[in-house]
Amino acid sequence: MKIKMIVYSYTHNTLHLIQEWAQRLNQHDVQIASIHAVDEDPNVKAITLSEKPSVDGQDHLVFATCVRGFALAPIMEAYLKQIPNLRGQKCTLVLTHYFPFDAWGGNQAMHQFKHLVEAKGGIVTATFIYSRSRKSKAQKESLLSHVPQA
Ligand SMILES: Cc1cc2nc3c(=O)[nH]c(=O)nc-3n(C[C@H](O)[C@H](O)[C@H](O)COP(=O)(O)O)c2cc1C
């Protein structure tokens, strides 16, 4: 199965988690691609994307990023708003955040994330949130043991 993991990760926490998951899925054709903006300073309001990975030709897409100010990272939001229609493409969404409870921004950001992907015609088959301060082995393992649906 062709799986593309499209990541926006500023301090590489999300990227490292995704790399660990990709290693577990080594029986599949997994590619990791990063989104970048010209200026990634969290205080910058006007976002210009410099790397916009293609969403074409995959059996499954993973979008992964972090929570910023109780919301989805604005660079991921900007990226999702400019991609073409996903036409029923199955997708998994992954968020990392710092606070110990997902209710402190994670759930809210995931709601926004899912809404943006569904607005582009994507079918969200699974969602995962990982809190870096809680460091729950169960929360991490639920992602690492997950096999995306074709
Ligand atoms: C500007 C900024 C705002 C953040 N806002 C939140 C927040 O509202 N809730 C939270 O739990 N973590 C928040 N964080 C922490 C990040 O979500 C967390 O460190 C995440 O794992 C970073 O992912 P990355 O290393 O892939 O960029 C914030 C971090 C930054 C830099």
Instruction: Indicate the domain borders of the chain.
Output: 2-144
Q: How many whole angstroms from 94 Cα to the centroid of ligand 1?
A: 13
> Quick check: 44 pLDDT over 90?
no
Hey, whose CA ends up nearest to atom 18 of ligand 1?
Answer: 97
Q: How many whole angstroms from 57 Cα to the centroid of ligand 1?
A: 31
CATH number assigned to the domain covering 2-144: 3.40.50.360
Residue with tokens 């809404």: 115
With beta carbons less than 8 A apart as the criterion, state whether 9 and 66 touch.
yes
pLDDT tens digits along 91-141: 999 999 999 998 999 999 999 999 999 999 999 999 999 999 999 999 999
Residue with tokens 């759930």: 107
Q: Which of 97, 107, 133 to mutate to test the pocket of ligand 1 (most atoms within 8 A of CB)?
A: 97
> Quick check: 150 pLDDT over 90?
no
Overall pTM surpassing 0.85 (yes/no): yes
